[in-house]
Structure 1
Amino acid sequence: MKIKYSILSILLGAVAFSGCQNLTEDPKANLTPGTYFKTQSDLDGAVSAIYIQFARDGAWGFTNRSTSYFGSDDFTTDPGLNKEDFRLFDRLSGGSGNGSMVAQWQGPWQGIYQANNVITNYAKVNSTEEQKNQSAGQAYFLRALGYYYLVRTFGPVPVILTPIDVDDRPDRDPIEKVYEAIIADLQKAKELLPVKFENAPGKADQMAARSLLADVYLTMTGWPLNQASNYAQAAAEADAVIKSGQFNLSTPYAQVFTTNNGPESIFGLQYNVNGGLPLRSSGSSSVPLDEVATNGSSGWDDYYPEINFYKKAPKCKRTDDTFYTTLKLRQPDGKTFKLVPWDSPETHARHPYYKKFRAGLNGDGVSETETAINSINPSTNKVYDIIRYPLVLLAYAEASAMSGGGPTAASYAAINEVRKRAGLPNLTPGLSANAFRDSVVYERAYEFAGEFGVRWFDIVRLQLLPKIVAERSPEENPIPANTNFAQKYLAPIPVNEMARNPKWKQNEGY
């Protein structure tokens, strides 16, 4: 693997993100880790740069962060147009040369490199122990976050916990070792971080670390590790977040996706169009090609749900707020619109779309009324929530039921809190452990429909590809006959990385 860290990229990233650094001379001439990490301001800039590496367009700022997750039933794409990279994975046929998949690989690694810089150098900074620990805690959290997405997406990856030379070629480590590193980092983050940062949206805190740790333990109970003993630990971490009383579901579901940093946002990446850091997976990306605004802007048709995933959704307010089912077709006069259903022959794709990703922040994505579209913008200021409180509630519900031989009253209370906000009745009482787990997985599919791999990672850990493919509409992009589903739960290592690391063995099936 090509490993490289750059003090220059730390500085420039921090400037773009926070605007608090003032470079008056060429930093390339005299900055090294030894000369840069001196003050708390230096350290703050370095930590800000880690967040940027994850948030930028070449990482998690655009829809390509989910390229290999298009095998899920909550994601599909156009049968034509310029969507080949997404379409290949939608057909379970993606390969290592897929250009869009590079963001899934390179984004987390760049964040990990920068986190390693901070963790290696933070102790030497002239600052208080509390401030230094808070900076280091964020770096540990973000490094764990990067590895968590890498190991679930690509399987074995090198565990690199210090800056190393650009010419080094470390081996891929076993999945178990990657998870050991993730857990160690999150435990360290819990130790160093405050329970909550006041007036500092976007900073990872102790609750973010505990929430992510709950999700990590839950994932470890399924494929490929199948460590059922981790259900109890997942439940314990999630329970601690619930009992903190810091989060709630008081925000109406639709409003969650049009506002920033609400009471259920545990960790989200912050975006700023004017600062050169836009979120580009809301607005245009999720809008039909058929829709053209009065100002001439149009949709990109990048992603939308599969037909049968939509049809299987529960009948509730959350479903109404999730899916976009009546398209607005601009008429020849350029001012009026014809409203047609998603499956009308007048539409290009004949699919429902996602309503919840259209608006961006208060309409800076799609500005529209019930009967007209004023503008469609691909760059928004919307926070991208990686961890929302319902993820913790549903993790606790499943983990507590599976660790105790069946759901408890607290297990039911957790899932019913999510269902109540959705507009659904309480879940049927008296379910077995497995039936309750299946109900939680179904609930998570629709609470987090279309959200950054949540559904895909359930499909992976529970090995659900045969089931969801069997239920797939014939109208979807066709999956080749004799596809070996067992080989499709991991993405291939990008071809350039394989070329740089000739000793690596490609994932099976690629």
Structure 2
Amino acid sequence: MKTIKIILFASLALLLFGGCKKILQEDPKATLTPGTYYKTQSDLDGAVNAMYIVLAKDGSWGFTSKMFSYFGSDDLTTDPGLNKADQRDFDRLSGGSTNQSLPAEWNGPWSCIYQANNVITVYKNVNSTDSLKNASAGQAYFLRGLCYYYLVRTFGQVPLVLGTIDPNSRLPRATVAAVYASIISDLNTAKGMLSTKLEQGKPNVYTVSAILSDVYQTMAGWPLNQTSNYALAAAAANTVMQAGVYNLNTPYDKVFTTNNSSESIFALQYNVAASLPQRSFGSTSVPLDEVALDGSSGWDDFYPELTFFKDAPKCTRTDLTFYTTLKIRNADNVTFTLYPWSDSHTHARHPYYKKFRAGLNGDGVNETATTISSIQPSTNKAYDIMRYPQVLLNYAESSAMSGGGPTAQSYAAINQVRARAGEKPLTPGLSQLAFRDSVVYERAYECAGEFGVRWFDICRLQLLPSIIAVRDPSENPIPAGTNVQEKYLAPIPYAEMSLNPAWQQNPGY
């Protein structure tokens, strides 16, 4: 793993989390001896804050590059030209280890893991109360488990680094089963250390249960196919549901224009003024041919594939999800003409994502129904990693798959999501697989375009052949002869393979 040294200024930590009051030098490779600089609770707080910052920053989970290898999904595509080669290659199932954006998916989680290891190594020796120390360690165990969860689903076998190590160490890649075992261990440890308190940007016991539900459900599918884990997934989701601390009372569009809504279970926090911007909202999913009154324009980074858009349910959620009428500025540079997405006046002839435009109360795209004042790439919008509807849908699917089919409770869970979306209740009497497919379909549109949600469903259920079969011919072409079975995992970045010559690259790369 590459050594990455990042200077984290106290003002940034203070603005985001109210953390330490001195400069921290964070070395995710743990080449320093943590015991020499973690002495007080203030030191420990600063180290905990650093975990979130290295994960949330632009080169990690702060920009859409965090999900470029997931562009094989049908809810994501990009321009056939322009400077979109990094995401376009994966959209064509042709991405390689030298892809310039791939390191963000690798280095970001590792930076957080190394910082978490520092906290876990020293927290017991810090001069503080057991309650405060355990709260710090609980966050470290949670984030380490969460980061490994993204790494194992993206890259498959990865090394297990569970303590401070020498920077020259070259650990082997652990089996997928071993990585999942470590994830579950970390999350269960975190659950025993965290409280039930709801705090913005911080995990609690319900956060852990929500992620555990997702982990167990994933383990029930490819590549482990441990179907006994469906019951564990349903139980973990039910824990969150029975707690009654989250709900779907926030209107769907408001979830994406406000921070930490009533359904937000875990979200990374952002602050543009503190040099930690969220750039997965605003410009990134705005058409290139939309130009604001101030001259700013969209980046055209991603939008949905045509088949995915056309297969969306007819409901208010769909209307709030997709942007289908473009505002093209006229030659007078003052007025705009409205064109449907398929019109010849538009560049991409695709719909876009409406829900990622505004950012936090319009700090992304500032617009009216007929004009655009400005289009900003850096927003203060918190990024939700886990939302309550995901828990409800996980429960619906896993409860049905762990028994003989869907129960009344299974239907009740999915119907909560459908009701908020403006859909009718799901037809009763479905078979086990038909019900599961209905839940997967619902999740695709509830979480359309969100951080790997659709892609990870495609992977665990091996859906690429069926998705490719109905792919619109106008999309970026997938080369003939592509072995799709080898495309569910991303390649290990070239730099990491060079540093670890004993590793064997994932098949197909």
Asked whether the 8 Å contact 2:222–2:461 carries over to 1, the reply is: yes
Task: Give matches, 1:205-284, under 5 Å.
Answer: 205-284=204-283
CA distance in 1, matches of 2:442, 2:26: 51
Asked whether the 8 Å contact 1:63–1:281 carries over to 2, the reply is: yes
Cα gap change, 1:40 to 1:24, in 2 (>3 Å) = closer
**Aligned residue in 1 for 2:37:** 36
Deviation (angstroms), 1:74: 0.1
CA distance in 2, matches of 1:399, 1:19: 39
Q: Provide Cα deviations, 1:244-303, integer angstroms capped at 9, x if missing partner.
A: 000000011011100000110000000000011000011000100010000100000000
Deviation (angstroms), 1:219: 0.2
CA distance in 2, matches of 1:445, 1:55: 24
Asked whether the 8 Å contact 1:232–1:399 carries over to 2, the reply is: yes
**Aligned residue in 1 for 2:174:** 173
Gapped runs of 5+ residues in structure 2? none
Deviation (angstroms), 1:8: 6.1
Q: Provide Cα deviations, 1:343-385, integer angstroms capped at 9, x if missing partner.
A: 0010000000000000000000000000000000000000000
Q: CA RMSD in A?
A: 1.7
Asked whether the 8 Å contact 1:44–1:135 carries over to 2, the reply is: yes
**Aligned residue in 1 for 2:452:** 453
CA distance in 2, matches of 1:54, 1:71: 24
Q: Provide Cα deviations, 1:145-170, integer angstroms capped at 9, x if missing partner.
A: 10000000000000110010110000
1:105 equivalenced with 2:106 (yes/no): yes
Deviation (angstroms), 1:243: 0.2
Deviation (angstroms), 1:23: 3.0
The AA in structure 2 aligned to 1:348 is H
Cα gap change, 1:206 to 1:427, in 2 (>3 Å) = same
CA distance in 2, matches of 1:11, 1:117: 18
2:384 match: secondary structure: strand
1:192 equivalenced with 2:193 (yes/no): yes
The AA in structure 1 aligned to 2:414 is I
CA distance in 2, matches of 1:375, 1:328: 12
Identity of aligned residues (%): 66
CA distance in 2, matches of 1:279, 1:70: 20
1:367 match: secondary structure: strand
**Aligned residue in 2 for 1:115:** 116
**Aligned residue in 1 for 2:147:** 146
CA distance in 1, matches of 2:459, 2:11: 37
CA distance in 2, matches of 1:10, 1:399: 44
CA distance in 2, matches of 1:7, 1:305: 35
CA distance in 2, matches of 1:451, 1:374: 26
**Aligned residue in 2 for 1:434:** 433
CA distance in 2, matches of 1:243, 1:344: 48
CA distance in 1, matches of 2:78, 2:329: 22
Deviation (angstroms), 1:24: 7.8
1:465 equivalenced with 2:464 (yes/no): yes
**Aligned residue in 1 for 2:306:** 307
CA distance in 2, matches of 1:459, 1:24: 43
CA distance in 2, matches of 1:396, 1:344: 41
CA distance in 1, matches of 2:12, 2:122: 18
The AA in structure 1 aligned to 2:86 is D
2:272 match: secondary structure: coil
Gapped runs of 5+ residues in structure 1? none
CA distance in 1, matches of 2:350, 2:26: 51
1:481 equivalenced with 2:480 (yes/no): yes
The AA in structure 2 aligned to 1:463 is Q
The AA in structure 2 aligned to 1:248 is N
Cα gap change, 1:10 to 1:39, in 2 (>3 Å) = farther
**Aligned residue in 2 for 1:164:** 165
Asked whether the 8 Å contact 1:196–1:207 carries over to 2, the reply is: no
CA distance in 1, matches of 2:9, 2:155: 26
The AA in structure 2 aligned to 1:179 is Y
CA distance in 1, matches of 2:24, 2:132: 27
CA distance in 1, matches of 2:257, 2:484: 37
**Aligned residue in 2 for 1:22:** 21
The AA in structure 2 aligned to 1:274 is A
CA distance in 1, matches of 2:253, 2:314: 15
Q: Provide Cα deviations, 1:35-55, integer angstroms capped at 9, x if missing partner.
A: 321111111111110011110
CA distance in 2, matches of 1:476, 1:208: 37
Cα gap change, 1:346 to 1:106, in 2 (>3 Å) = same
Deviation (angstroms), 1:414: 0.2
CA distance in 2, matches of 1:166, 1:153: 24
CA distance in 2, matches of 1:254, 1:502: 48
**Aligned residue in 2 for 1:492:** 491
Cα gap change, 1:26 to 1:357, in 2 (>3 Å) = closer
**Aligned residue in 1 for 2:66:** 65
Deviation (angstroms), 1:195: 1.3
Asked whether the 8 Å contact 2:5–2:26 carries over to 1, the reply is: no
CA distance in 1, matches of 2:313, 2:79: 25
Figure out how many residues of one structure are paired with residues of the other and give that number: 505
CA distance in 2, matches of 1:45, 1:23: 8
Cα gap change, 1:167 to 1:11, in 2 (>3 Å) = farther
Asked whether the 8 Å contact 1:7–1:33 carries over to 2, the reply is: no
**Aligned residue in 1 for 2:332:** 333
The AA in structure 1 aligned to 2:94 is S
The AA in structure 2 aligned to 1:250 is N
**Aligned residue in 2 for 1:383:** 382
Asked whether the 8 Å contact 1:13–1:48 carries over to 2, the reply is: no
2:254 match: secondary structure: helix
